[in-house]
Structure 1
Amino acid sequence: MNLELFIAKRIIGNKSYKSSVSAPIIKIGIAAIAIGIIVMLVAIATGLGLQQKIRDKVVAFNGDIIIDNYDSNASDESQVPISINQDFYPEFKTVEGIKHVQGVATKFCVIRTESEFEGVIVKGVGKDYRWDYFEDFLVDGRLPNFKENLNNEILVSRYIANRLALNVDDRFQALFGDSFDRLPRQVAFEIVGIYDSGFQELDEKFVIADLRHIQRLNKWEEDQVGNFEVFVDDFSELEAKTIEVHNNSHQFLKAKSVKEKYFTIFEWIKIFDNNTYGIIAIMILVAGINMITALLVLILERTQMIGILKALGSANWSIRKVFLYNASYLIGLGLLWGNLIGLGLLFAQKYFKFFPLNPQTYYVTEAPVYISWDYIVALNVGTFIVSLLMLLIPSIIVSRISPVKAIRFD
């Protein structure tokens, strides 16, 4: 039988325990743990959610890895064609962890309406294009269908549609510069869908059309594209997979990760990790200090009991364990309430989106949350262990209590 645990349970179950002098301080300690775990859960969930959302939006327009010519310039327009007759296309069999490869091309144009005009990049996609991300971005109409004969369907962003006063089923003229002819070439497109990724830097730039238009305008062959977009299974392995993809591509082709192309954006979202670590450290420290105060009050309140236990031969460590068991109960109670409230807030935000954000600053329209049992369990276990370790030092006060002075008889 665990004597220390038995005594701790009796103390916790005692009615006088709940109405003692230490009761308000204990409640404050429990509240500190609960508030700490709520803040940490929200910080981690929103930090990871924002990182994932921004990453997914950048990947939607570029893929995880871009395979391009060495002699391509730094612009967003495809210059030198690449043959699709590559060992890695349509399946990258020589590198594990690659889930999809697609060929695309881009070309600058000016959209002209009766009263407005706007410069954009037309991204040409083919039958192999994955529309997974744009299915989530679609806000009106439908996605284009490029699996049949060449057509003039196009997908534009809500940003561009609003600037040019365009709607689904509207038609417009797109003017393309041509290095072979002096006059620009015109293509009439019909809007079949409007998307909104919330990432204005990309929404204001890209419209999605049939790849065959770009091939025809550039006088390319049917088996030529501007570059390849590669999607990986695990984004955390992106750097390693980029090197593998580069080594397994043609010697005249280069592979570049989306992190390299959008270096500043990915460096910016890394800052969220530092902020999250700082919040976790502060919350654990504050909660730990409150629990230390509660433990000291508990010990001082039970001085007579400590003296009696020492007189009966109990060792200092045995008595300390009684109070550590007691503190563990209080920490567990704080974690329970903190998780109930914290997860409740996160699920409410995930499904009802109560807290909007400015997309021009954060690239998203509402605070995104990423909920995973991995970090929830790790956070709770880590908070419990760190808080308990912090209580080992103040529990040493038990050894300083003299049984002779502690035992008093009225």
Structure 2
Amino acid sequence: MDWKLFIARRIYKNKEEGERNVSKPAVRIAIAGIAIGLAVMIISVAVVIGFKHEVRDKVIGLGSDILITSLDEVQSYQVTPIVGDDSLMSVLGAMPGVRHVQRYATKPGMIMTSDNFQGIVLKGVSQEYDLTFLKRHLLEGEIPAFADSVSSFQVLVSKTIADKLGVKVGDKLSTYYVENNIRARRLTVAGIYQTNFSSYDDLFLLTDLRTVVRLNNWKEGQVGGLEVSVSDYARLNETNEQMLSFFYGKTDRYGGKYYSQTVEEVYPQIFAWLGLLDVNVWVILILMVGVAGFTMISGLLIIILERTNMIGILKALGADNTSVRKVFLMLAVFLIRKGMVWGNVLALTCCALQHFFHLIKLDPAVYYIDAVPVELNVGVWLLLNVGTLAVSVLMLVGPSYLISRILPARSIRFE
């Protein structure tokens, strides 16, 4: 066994056995600093990753990764249809990186009751619509069988609208839409959902595609747009560029021009806000690494001063400064390792408690979710541990040079 490692272990084990030494409080503080710093870093990153994914998945669940609409609609903000027939959907669905394609249409209108009214957007979807997100947020009732060929006259209503209008599952809603004249539809509430996404819950009712297409007086095959889900979100922009290239210069049989944009382009404010969270994480990481590193520096300096006599003896026996420095750096690694173990235990325990019991709540009107989410990425977790160990040891290299200033003749007599 390397003699430097042997001495470092002996010093570490002596401290563990509780021998009298003045450095014990400083060492405990250093270990606690490493533990708390690493725990805060792991928890912070887990919360930010979880929060970003929860909000992103909610935005995508309400729409899609890529939205294909009419170019005229993008430029004028008017609802302009495009042709979204089965052949186009088959071509798009076969493109690399595309997981799913679905049609939709929208129609702004109003709900009126005997004593209240509410502006709405009626969104029609077809039989290929992915219901996974809606099923996860359905509170009451059931999701009707949406289709593009038959009008069901059933709708899903958000809890926000249901509470405001005082309606429940099975009630009839009188809805009105302005075209050349006022058109009315009497719809039955089939279910009530809640996404906690106010811009959606405050407006949208979901029904079948056929109802909305007829309200808009669109021609055969026309829809409001196509929602495309990608198989790999990391390649979102690449897939969108592929869509733009495919539609470049193409028009549908009615002269409509296609345009493709990502969910990040549709909701730039939300994704810009999520991007700012990364800055907060970096600030926390830098502060915690600094705190942990400086507590270890103070602990190491106290240990070196306490072991001045031993350092002198080692030098008198022929050990050079580099070898003695390695002894204390190895000792520091043992102490950092102990702090990291406790830090991981603390962080993982806190993350598990929050994940399973949702102890810390959030206001869904502000944050779109009702509890602090945590998502532990194994790769990021390993990187934090390795980075903490590496940075902490590197910060101790400079202070360890104090050993070179200790002279054997004086230090052997040091008490």
TM range (shorter): over 0.9
Given the alignment of the two structures, is residue 343 of structure 1 paired with residue 348 of structure 2, yes or no?
Answer: yes
Query: Which residue of the partner structure matches residue 6 of structure 1?
Result: 6
Distance 1:14 1:345, change over 3 A: same
SS at match of 1:248: helix
Write the mapping of 1:4-403 to structure 2, written as runs, cut at 5 A: 4-14=4-14, 19-73=20-74, 78-89=79-90, 91-94=92-95, 96-147=96-147, 149-179=150-180, 182=181, 184-249=182-247, 251=250, 252-403=257-408
Tell me which moved more, 345-354 or 220-229. Answer: 220-229
1:37 and 1:18 map into 2 onto residues whose CA distance is: 28
C-alpha RMSD of matched pairs (Å): 1.9
Note the alpha carbon deviations across 1:117-163, whole angstroms, 9 max, x for none.
10111111001100122222222222222259431221111111111
Indicate the SS of the match to 1:123: strand
Question: Aligned partner of 1:7: which letter?
Answer: I
TM-score (norm 2): 0.93
Q: Cα distance 1:249–1:85, how it changes in 2: closer, same or farther (>3 A)? A: farther
Kept in 1, the 8 Å contact 2:154–2:190? The answer is yes
Distance in 2, Cα, partners of 1:169 & 1:90: 39
Look up the equivalent residue of 2:174 and give its one-letter code. Q
Tell me how far apart the structure 2 counterparts of residues 324 and 80 of structure 1 sit (CA, whole Å): 69
Task: Give 3-state SS (helix, strand or coil) of 2:365's partner.
Answer: helix
Question: CA 1:18–1:165 in 2, change beyond 3 Å: closer, same or farther?
Answer: farther
Per-residue deviation at 1:75?
A: 7.5
CA separation in 2, counterparts of 1:395 and 1:409? 19
Contact 2:37 / 2:289 at 8 angstroms: preserved in 1? yes
SS in 2 for 1:185: strand
Instruction: Give % identity.
Output: 38
Question: 5+ unaligned residues in a row in structure 2: which ranges?
Answer: 251-256
**What do residues 185-229 of structure 1 show as CA deviations (whole Å, max 9, x unaligned)?**
111111122111111122112111101101111222452211001
Q: Deviations over 1:352-396 (max 9, x none)?
A: 111111122222111111111111111111111111110111011
Deviation (angstroms), 1:279? 0.3
Amino acid at match of 2:177: F
Partner letter of residue 118 of structure 1?
Answer: Q
CA spacing shift, 1:76–1:334, aligned 2, 3 Å = farther
The alignment covers a number of residue pairs equal to 406
CA distance in 2, matches of 1:328, 1:168: 63
Deviations along 1:321-370, one digit per CA (max 9) or x if unpaired, are: 11111111111111111111111111111111111111222221111111
Contact 2:104 2:209 in 1 (8 A): yes
TM-score (norm 1): 0.94
Please give the alpha-carbon distance, in whole angstroms, between the structure 2 residues aligned to 1:76 and 1:191. 29
The match for 2:254 is none
**Does the C-alpha gap of structure 1 residues 75 and 201 become closer, same or farther in structure 2, counting only changes over 3 Å?**
farther
1:31 corresponds to which letter in structure 2?
A: A
